Amino acid sequence: MTNSGIRTISITSGKGGVGKTTVTVNLAHNLAKMGKRVLILDGDLSLANVDLFFKKVPEYTLQDFFSTEVDLKDILVKYSKNIHILPGASGALDLARLDVFQKKMLVDSVSEFEGHYDYLLIDTASGISDEVLYLSSAAQEVMVVVLPDPASITDAYALMKLLNQRYKTKSFSIVTNQVLNEKEGLSLFHRINSVSTKFLNVSLNYMGYIPFDLNLRHANHKQEMIADFAPQSQANLCLKRIAEKVEGFPTRTEVPGGLQFFWNQVLDIA
């Protein structure tokens, strides 16, 4: 990694049901197996669900941080040595409504985590709400998960267009999900890339594909990592390759790193 600070990656889509959380938790799992320290922010503040994939019920959430004397470090859910989760609230907390005191409180507390993690993965909510946009725009990298159906493609394009026009985001990583094979995954990427390069001032990076694999669906239902449930499955091998590509992909050096920088960006935008 070219940046000594934490590497922040937003995993988003523009549409629900495309597998964002599946990509997030499995990316974290594979990065952790490489020895990387990963912090996951459940950015779906109204329907937080990352903890379900790890079979962990949070005792506290960000809502408790702002409404009680609970420290931010006490909110962390420790799934394993290298994977920690910062759970979002369920329905009550809206980052856009934080007052000046709460914003300073959050940024000051986040400084305690500096140097403790290599990656911050943000699992955003679905859609193209302001919440999704400012969480994504504050990250160093935006990973867009796309399915091979017209609605998913249209929504992914709309998300990239808004991030480009409002926040000047010029680079996106693309993961194609639930495709038949690598050929279909690449074909889907090229369709999106041709339209984006023609009408938007952006560049797209192909990070890989995830095939339609019942093993992955069964693993999700059992709340297990696909690496444990079916290590030799095609889905697991593809998810592992995506993590390897992420780790080998150079960080955007023009964007500063650090948790404080990320939250300052979020709160300035909000």
Identify the burial level of 268 via C-beta atoms within 10 angstroms of its C-beta, where 0-12 means exposed, 13-18 middle and 19 or more buried: exposed
Q: What was the pLDDT predicted at 3?
A: 41
Q: What was the pLDDT predicted at 243?
A: 98
Helix (H, G, I), strand (E, B) or coil at 10: strand
What are the average pLDDT values for consecutive 10-residue runs of the chain, which has 270 residues?
A: 69 90 95 96 70 80 81 90 85 62 76 86 85 85 96 95 93 97 98 94 96 95 92 97 91 59 74
**C-alpha span between 80 and 49 (Å, rounded):** 18
Structural domain boundaries in the chain:
7-269
CA 40 → CA 10, 22, 85, 195, 254, distances in Å? 10, 12, 5, 32, 23
Strands 83-86 and 77-78: antiparallel
The DSSP line for 190-212 is HHHHHHHHHHSS-EEEEEEEEE-
**Residue 213 backbone dihedrals phi, psi, to 5 degrees:** -140, 115
Lookup: tokens for 56: 């962990």
Lookup: tokens for 113: 């985590």
Homologous superfamily of 7-269 in CATH?
P-loop containing nucleotide triphosphate hydrolases (3.40.50.300)
CB 184 within 8 Å of CB 213: no
Q: What was the pLDDT predicted at 43?
A: 77
**C-alpha span between 86 and 60 (Å, rounded):** 9
Query: 43-61: string of b/e by CB count within 10 Å (b at 16+)?
Result: bbbeebebbebbeeebebb
Helix (H, G, I), strand (E, B) or coil at 137: helix
**C-alpha span between 181 and 177 (Å, rounded):** 10
